[in-house]
Structure 1
Amino acid sequence: MSTAAAELRSQRFAAAVPDLERIEAMPLLAEIDALKRARNAVVLAHNYQAPAIYHGVADFTGDSLALAQQAARSEADVIVVAGVQFMAETAKLLNPTRMVLISSLAAGCSLAESISAADVRALRRRHPGVPVVSYVNTSAAVKAESDICCTSANALRIVESLGVPKVIFLPDRYLGHHVQQ
């Protein structure tokens, strides 16, 4: 991280985190920064992270799509994802030769966990020949069983590009309903 970027992060951290919490966190943040330099690591933090992580540790922040894009552009040897499992899996898919770590193995997403690869295979058996479109917020296993993935921003364009009257859209039924309209 450049000196200017580190200074900006420090200013954001000071503005977002109460003084006492910031003072307590400073030694740990210094240790994390030293490890990032020593291991050529970068921390990608989802918008929902605690302020100390989001403003004090993260090199890049954003939603799941922004983090995936940043992971794809990263030249770091180690990518640490402060987010949920599917985000770390996506970072690994985009960086197969790099080490990708997740800050907590318990971090999950109820939407991503609402569909499994076995569920997708069962849907394919019930609806042969119907393409499966999965939202990017799914596990790597679900993505592997899908024909194509989309984001909320490109879902309509992706579905229309298939040129078919019917698709299986999963797992976000609200986004699927929006696309159907």
Structure 2
Amino acid sequence: MMLQQEIKALKKEKNAVILVHNYQLPEIYDVADYIGDSLELAKKAVQTEADLIVFCGVDFMAESAKILNPEKKVLLPVLEARCPMAGMVDIRGLENLKKRHPDAAVVSYINTYATTKAISYCCCTSANVVKVVNSLEHEKIIMVPDQNLALYAQRFTKKTIIPWDGYCYVHHQQFEPEVLQQLKLDYPEAEVVVHPECPPEIIDLAHAVHSTSGMMKYVKNRPGTEFIIGTEIGLIERLKRECPDKIFYSANGTSATCWQMKKNTLETVYQSLKEEQHEVTVPETIRIEAQKALDKMLLYS
């Protein structure tokens, strides 16, 4: 409790804002100014009047905040909190793919690095991917890096989507249809709500598919009291806090965990804020091009 109070005092002293992704440790929620998914936090990064942004998430999220706020200092509590999926994009390979499909628009998931965003036409998030794809004038879309998000979007458009061979190791590898089918038998009254980064065979077993914040809204508005959740365990912790009258089960039977997200702790948040360390920077030439893709994304949100 003392450390949380010190963090809050430092925020006031430094005119800082702490943006926290849904997958963070529960104790970090207590010092957050805003908690949300990638789209919500991108919007908050644009709206904030703070001089200093501490982003409790993984590296591409802090990069996106810096792209949208070049005049502000953006800190990532732990530099090693890196998203493996964002690193699955090979820039040279993407450039070659663009040459093979010159009439296609590159739509990069926000879960990408600035260098990827800079050569993309538009960005998207799991919350707005379908809207983005259907809003573009292009009939062919190259989508990077998440193959499962691309396959999910393809369900809702007549356009041709060319998926990149990337994935989130949590959603792609930690959920199995056999386990989920058994959970549905064990808890017949429970609704299954999963993230669009899950493989198609998991999505086919779900009652609803949403981004993390979409899951929050869905669960809060449903009359049922039992839910099987197909995403990282951090969201279940938040759901338990905000919906104490409801029961939640992980769709993998135990707990699906992103160890990169869990590298941030109260101690690292405090140290980063106190020393203003681990500043995230983006070369200006890359930032300008990446911002164009992010601005289009926000336009379609």
| TM norm. shorter chain > 0.5 | yes
Matched, 1:117 2:87: no
Extract structure 1 runs of 4+ deviating beyond 4 A.
none
How far residue 142 of structure 1 moved from its aligned partner, in angstroms, is: 0.8
User: Is contact 1:120–1:146 with CA below 8 Å preserved after alignment?
Assistant: no
Deviation string 1:39-65 (CA, Å, 9 cap, x unpaired) is 10111111111111122x212111111
> Which residue is 1:53 aligned to?
28
Change (3 A) 1:59 1:157: closer
Shift of 1:132: 0.7
Amino acid at match of 1:127: H
Aligned to 1:170: 144
Amino acid in the other structure paired with 2:80: A
- Specify the code of the residue in structure 1 equivalent to 2:137: G
Identity %: 51
What is residue 93 of structure 1 aligned with on the other side? 67
Contact 2:17 2:54 in 1 (8 A): yes
How high is the TM-score relative to the length of structure 1?
Answer: 0.78
Structure 2, unaligned runs of 5 or more: 156-301
**What is the CA–CA distance in structure 1 between the aligned matches of 2:128 and 2:79, rounded to whole Å?**
29
Report the Cα distance in structure 2 between the residues aligned to 1:68 and 1:176, rounded to whole angstroms: 21
- Alpha-carbon RMSD: 1.6
What is the identity, as a one-letter code, of the residue corresponding to 1:39?
A: K
- Ranked by relative contact order (alpha carbons within 8 Å, sequence separation 6 or more), the top structure is 2
Higher helix share: 1
Deviation at 1:80, TM superposition (A): 0.2
Shift of 1:179: 1.9
Distance of 2:13 and 2:91 partners within structure 1: 38
Equivalence for 2:245? none
How many residues in Structure 1 have an aligned counterpart in Structure 2?
155
Gaps of 5+ in 1: 1-25
Instruction: State the distance in 2 between where 1:165 and 1:67 align.
Output: 29
Deviation at 1:158, TM superposition (A): 2.0
Q: Distance in 1 between matches of 2:23 and 2:98?
A: 34
